[in-house]
Amino acid sequence: MILSDKSIKKYLESGELLIEPLEPRQIQPASVDIRLGHNFLRLDENNFGTMTMTDEIEYTRFECDELIIPSGSFLLATTMEYIRLPNNLTAFVEGRSSIGRMGLFIQNAGWVDPGFEGEITLELYNANRLPIRLEAGRRICQLVFAAMDDEAENPYCGKYQKQRSAVGSRICLDAENQRKD
């Protein structure tokens, strides 16, 4: 069941759901608008020829209030908001329609597991032929919350828990990559 604005407010007031900082105008009828943070990662394309799922991926980190994402470019960004989901809620990250109509695709694998805590790393891709100027603090995506039928037996406690700032892929830490001696 998707949560309404009324239910979102109840979860926030009870402290079960945390979104900080949060302005009342960010709460929409069935979602919460989330703003672009100041921290970004760009792939360090000059340091390797091919990315693999077993090697650590190198990024260049930078902070700014405004940036231009060129056509066909990809970068990682963070949200201004730090969130904490209770063990009985999950969230979907959805791009805002107005942003999508500019050709900017926003993802984070689309899903936030129950029990997750941290800033959300967003994957941004400019599919337009024109560069797009982005400004920190602007609403860029939205979280849609869904109540689960029961609390998660194993809430999220993975490699991105309590992340601050944009965090690059940690796929090299996956169980499939760990040595079995």
Tell me the per-residue pLDDT of 98-132, one tens digit each, with 9 for 90 and over.
999 999 999 766 789 999 999 999 999 999 999 99
Which tokens belong to 92? 């979907």
C-alpha to C-alpha distance for 117 and 20, rounded to whole angstroms: 11
Contacts for 130 with CB less than 8 Å, ≥ 6 apart: 71, 103
The domain tally of the chain equals 1
Mean per-residue pLDDT over the chain, rounded: 92
Write out the residue range of the structural domain in which residue 98 sits: 5-49+56-177
Q: For the ranges 35-44, 56-65, 107-116, 133-142, which has the lowest average pLDDT?
A: 107-116
- Mean predicted confidence (pLDDT) in 157-164: 92
Predicted confidence at residue 175, as pLDDT, reads 82
Please give the residue that has the higher pLDDT: either 51 or 9.
9
Active site residues: 123
Question: Which residue shows structure tokens 């309404």?
Answer: 4
Whether the CB-CB separation of 76 and 91 falls below 8 Å is answered with no
181 has a pLDDT exceeding 60: no
Contacts for 6 with CB less than 8 Å, ≥ 6 apart: none
CATH of the domain at 160: 2.70.40.10
Question: Which residue shows structure tokens 């406690």?
Answer: 157
**11: confidence class by pLDDT, cuts 50, 70, 90:** very high
Q: How far is CA 144 from the centre of its chain?
A: 12
